[in-house]
Amino acid sequence: MKKHNIRGLNVVEFGEENKQGIIFVHAFPLCSRMWDKQAEALQNDYRVVVYDLRSFGYSELGDGHFTIDSHVSDLISIIDSLKMEKPVVCGLSMGGYITLRALELYQSKFKGAVLADTKAESDNNPTKHARADQMKMIKNGQREQFTENFIKAALSETNYNEKPELVEFLKKMISWQKNEAITGALLTLAARTDTTDALDKFDLKMLIIAGKEDKLTPPEFSKIIYGKTRNSDLKLISNAGHLANLENPEEFNNVITEFLKSFEKKQG
């Protein structure tokens, strides 16, 4: 494992530099630790890079004002600084929004992409209102209630009730995040652009993943991305809600590994 500070971003690298790279982009309001089980599963065969989005985890806060485009610039700076030659990029939820915009702007930088529990559409008005309410909760000191609400909505009902260790890990991860990171990200999410029109312009190979029980971005949104992209595959993860990689890591890792191996077959 190697740790890097790239333009104030906390970046962690696993595996060997000469292997196919994959870079993971985390969800709101978490950090790079959400990818622990993916890094563990893939590091022997791939170069795995995880990082904390600016203001999250150990990355610097900066001025607290970010756009999806500024997060894309950070992602590209990591790829360039580490001299990653056409990595696969995997983003979940907010990480998926960043991934979609990165593909729209810099498709040629990537060999392939994984979009997990995300959507191409921008926020509608009810969602923007909900994000404003969440900001109000954080500013009013209701962090615990915010955290509880988020976890309950993010996990499948079964996992919420039957996986207390996962619930505790999520509570801990959210507790590490600064108020400014959470409120800043809520504004970033509400202001993001719609990338639906770009989907049919993506030529690279893509894997679309959705938890079958995702309530925050139901699988219908993943099916839209699948239907509008030329070279994509769709995998629905059983026993999983919005955080499929954490709720059913074994199945998630299997479909990611299968996707990564497909590039080797193509080359061979």
Which pLDDT tens digits describe the chain residue by residue (268 residues)? 999 999 999 999 999 999 999 999 999 999 999 999 999 999 999 999 999 999 999 999 988 789 999 999 999 999 999 999 999 999 999 999 999 999 999 999 999 999 999 999 999 999 999 999 999 999 999 999 999 999 999 999 999 999 999 999 999 999 999 999 999 999 999 999 999 999 999 999 999 999 999 999 999 999 999 999 999 999 999 999 999 999 999 999 999 999 999 998 655 4
Q: Which residue has the tokens 């991860």?
A: 173
Q: What is the Cα 234 distance to its own chain's centre?
A: 17
**Interatomic CA distance for residues 31 and 56, integer angstroms:** 6
Give me 109's structure tokens.
């930088």
DSSP summary character for residue 109: G
Q: How many CA atoms lie within 13 A of 61 on its CB side?
A: 10
Give me 254's structure tokens.
């299997």
Rounded to two decimals, what is the model's pTM? 0.97
Amino acid of residue 211: G
72-85 residues labelled b (16+ CB within 10 A) or e (exposed): bebbeebbeebebe
For the domain made up of 2-267, give the CATH fold.
Rossmann fold (3.40.50)
8 Å CB contact between 59 and 52: yes
Q: Where are the domains positioned within the chain?
A: 2-267
- Of 220, 212, 262, the closest CA to residue 241 belongs to 212
Q: What does DSSP say about strands 88-92 and 21-25: parallel, antiparallel, or unpaired?
A: parallel
